[in-house]
Amino acid sequence: MLYVVQGSVVEQHADAIVNAANHTLLGGGGVDGAIHRAAGPGLLEECRALGGCRTGEAKATGAYGIRQARHVIHTVGPVYSARRADACRRELESCYRSSCELALELGDASIAFPAISCGVYGYPLEEGLTVALEVLASYAPRFTRVVLALFRSGEYAVARDVAAGLYPVWEGPEGLVVQA
């Protein structure tokens, strides 16, 4: 099942929590900072050994202080540029796909995502959420739960409208349920 919820990805009950990271994998602002703060210094130490990550790819670590999760999956979204909109879309699709594939390889039954690239990296929100929902809908049957967590209420409102335009949806106690 695919869920769209308002809240921080850090708080989600999922085997894999996805981080919108940068090439260094050494932390940053936004959700990356929140994940590193919640996980603690062990996460940074493991990240140092990974040698960075390319745009569109994903790498996994332990979840450390994020007790309810088994893994953090770090992926690097595109820095949006209108001049290379098609390439950005392919890179963003690849982030969601690579993260799901890695979680499946690791035996994670559930996975929670933030809106990758839709903050500091400037991906237009509606387009970025459309990519997220389309890829996640295609993976939903392979997990017990796939969650797209929108941190800001404005982001959640847009996500709800985008999801309703693409799929049948209904409001459940845990948020918006998307019939993928």
Q: What backbone torsions phi and psi does residue 6 show, to the nearest 5 degrees?
A: -95, 125
- How far apart are alpha carbons 180 and 141 in whole angstroms? 8
Determine the interface stretch with ligand AR6 among 60-68, 101-109, 119-127, 132-140 (rule: CB under 6 A). 119-127
Cα 150 to chain center, whole Å?
Answer: 10
- Residue 156 in contact with ligand AR6, rule: CB under 6 A: no
Work out the number of other CB atoms within 10 angstroms of the CB of residue 177. 18
Residues pairing with 3 in the sheet: 147, 177
Structure letter (DSSP) for residue 179: -
Structure tokens given for 122: 């400037």
Instruction: Write each residue from 36 to 75 as x if it is in contact with ligand AR6 (CB under 6 A), else as -, in one continuous string.
Output: ----------------------------------------
Q: Is 70 or 74 the residue whose CB approaches ligand AR6 more closely? A: 74
- Applying CB under 6 A, among 1, 6, 8, 46 the residue interacting with ligand AR6 is 8
Determine the interface stretch with ligand AR6 among 21-29, 49-57, 132-140, 160-168 (rule: CB under 6 A). 21-29
Q: Do residues 47 and 61 touch, judged by C-beta distance below 8 A?
A: yes
Q: Is 31 or 100 the residue whose CB approaches ligand AR6 more closely? A: 31
Structure tokens given for 48: 């140092």
CB of 106 to ligand AR6, least distance (A): 22
Q: Is 22 or 61 the residue whose CB approaches ligand AR6 more closely? A: 22
- How far apart are alpha carbons 74 and 31 in whole angstroms? 11
Q: Which residues bind ligand AR6 (CB under 6 A)?
A: 8-10, 20-22, 28-32, 34, 77, 114-121, 150-152, 155
